[in-house]
Amino acid sequence: MLKPPNTNMKRACISENELPKEWYNILPDLPAPLPPPIDPSTRKPIDAERLEALFAKELIRQELSMDRWIPIPEEVRDAYRIWRPTPLIRAERLERALKTPAKIYFKHEGVSPPGSHKPNTAVAQAYYNMREGVKILTTETGAGQWGSALAFACSLFDLKARVYMVRASYFQKPYRKVMMQIWGAEVAPSPSDKTEFGRKLLRENPDHPGSLGIAISEAVEDALTHENVKYSLGSVLNHVLIHQTIIGLEARKQLEIFDDYPDVVAGCVGGGSSFSGIFWPFYYDVVSGKAPKDVKFIAVEPTACPTLTKGIYFYDFGDSAKLTPLMAMHTLGSSFVPPPIHAGGLRYHGDAPTLCLLVKKGMIEAKAYDQVSVFKAAVFFARHEGLIPAPETAHAIKFVIDEALRCKREGIEETILFNFTGHGLLDLKAYDEYLAGKLQPYHYPDAEIRRTIEKLLSELPWIRNLPYLRED
């Protein structure tokens, strides 16, 4: 581990030999048991064997595992070494521009080949599927970060990726599609004419903008109706979040180099994988009594898709066609169709069940910002730190700037850590629209949120009879 030559050290790097050998699993350390996924056909906890139609057996084992530490296969660690460990950077120029006493650090996940945190789980999922003889992986993608990550990972293990990309993002971000195709993936705008569910939606509305829930439905239908095909999910599920803890585990080592520890850990949230990846290891420190101080965990989402801040904690389907098991989570209702904002990776109606449980228990605070204030923060960050963040990442940056200014007003010295989940070099159309004054500070109407939630409650009235959501 490299020691700082002086107090003005800008970045902390660790060697490939210090790459973590295990992922962290939060399930043993939750404040209450995680409500189980429910099979809607039986109204009982789903049989793990039924998941084998979609997922590799090892991923199902990890999904349900109560082991605190999950070994990382050497083949996966070898693939990680293409870009990991990623640097931890102190945002000194941003601190000076804000004139804040706060210290700001970010974990730069944008250095991966696809440009985001997503390969951390894509590589692992492709590896386990390859080991079980799978030939094709289907998936959904919003902004294209997850789709490009899975395409990249499949290319490493001689698999084919078939990606259903939310239609609005497909046309907003055409170069993400090109990246996927370079790595050998087949890409379709969702809703598409390749699945029965997609064709149904296009008949109803030929200009349907799509949603992550719809794209998930198409990918799941594809996997269920073809041989040697499995489904791969880029967020929400436990095994996905487990793989992402490589981020926080590295960051914890790197903060030791700075002789520092966070007061606040923040991240953007769509499904919850990147935020969970950075905060889980620090959460473990807190609940195990190893943290040297109290830590606040802040999840940041868009006002256009305010799942944690305005959604209901209830069982819901993970997709729009209702093909998945029911999961206990904050949700806007699986029929929710978000507006085509540029932070495509944050346009999901639900969130990771583990994250939602912690929000419900008051251990995580959720905040929401509109896209105009988010892009203003992103531009301010880029003009001082040089890096252009993805629109998703910019949500976390907006909070970090606000928090640093609060420290300035109150004369508080805080250490703030956030996850720089990806670069925005393929999102310049969004920046162009912001700079031209064309973006609107969109807030999803409360009346529409009430409508989709009421629809959910009316469709699943029997959920209230289950014991899993009742308070002790």
User: Alpha helices of 36-89 — where are they, by DSSP H?
Assistant: 57-64, 74-80
Res 339: pLDDT: 64
Question: Distance between CA 139 and CA 387 in Å, rounded?
Answer: 29
Res 334: pLDDT: 84
Question: Distance between CA 213 and CA 319 in Å, rounded?
Answer: 4
Residue 313 CB neighbours (<10 A): 17
Q: What is the DSSP letter of 335?
A: T
Res 39: pLDDT: 93
| pLDDT at residue 14 is higher than 50 | yes
* Torsion angles phi and psi, residue 307, rounded to 5: -60, -50
Res 342: pLDDT: 53
| pLDDT at residue 391 is higher than 90 | yes
Per the document, the length of the chain is 472
Question: pLDDT (tens digit, 9 = 90+) per residue, 406-436?
Answer: 999 999 999 999 999 999 999 899 999 999 9
| Non-local CB neighbours of 456 within 8 Å, separated by 6+ positions | 312, 314, 316, 331, 333, 334, 335
State the amino acid at position 96 in one-letter form: R
pLDDT tier for residue 6 given thresholds of 50, 70 and 90: very low
Of 109, 67, 398, which Cα lies nearest the Cα of 244? 109
The H or E element spanning position 144 is none
Question: Distance between CA 137 and CA 150 in Å, rounded?
Answer: 8
Res 5: pLDDT: 43
Q: What is the mean pLDDT of the chain?
A: 93
Res 458: pLDDT: 94
Question: pLDDT (tens digit, 9 = 90+) per residue, 62-84?
Answer: 999 999 999 999 999 999 999 99
Give the Å distances, CA to CA, from 148 to 115, 179, 307, 357.
9, 6, 25, 30
Q: Give the range among 36-45, 159-168, 196-205, 338-347 with minimum mean pLDDT.
A: 338-347
Res 472: pLDDT: 52
Give the Å distances, CA to CA, from 398 to 22, 138, 303.
32, 33, 13
Do residues 224 and 337 make contact, with C-beta atoms less than 8 angstroms apart? Answer: no
Respond yes or no on whether the N-terminal peptide bond of residue 292 is cis (omega within 30° of 0). no
* Torsion angles phi and psi, residue 470, rounded to 5: -75, 140
Query: Rounded to two decimals, what is the model's pTM?
Result: 0.94
Count CA within 13 A, CB hemisphere, residue 56. 23
Q: Tokens 């902004």 label which residue? A: 143
| pLDDT at residue 1 is higher than 70 | no
pLDDT tier for residue 471 given thresholds of 50, 70 and 90: low
Residue 310 CB neighbours (<10 A): 19
Pairing of strands 160-166, 186-190: parallel
| pLDDT at residue 297 is higher than 80 | yes
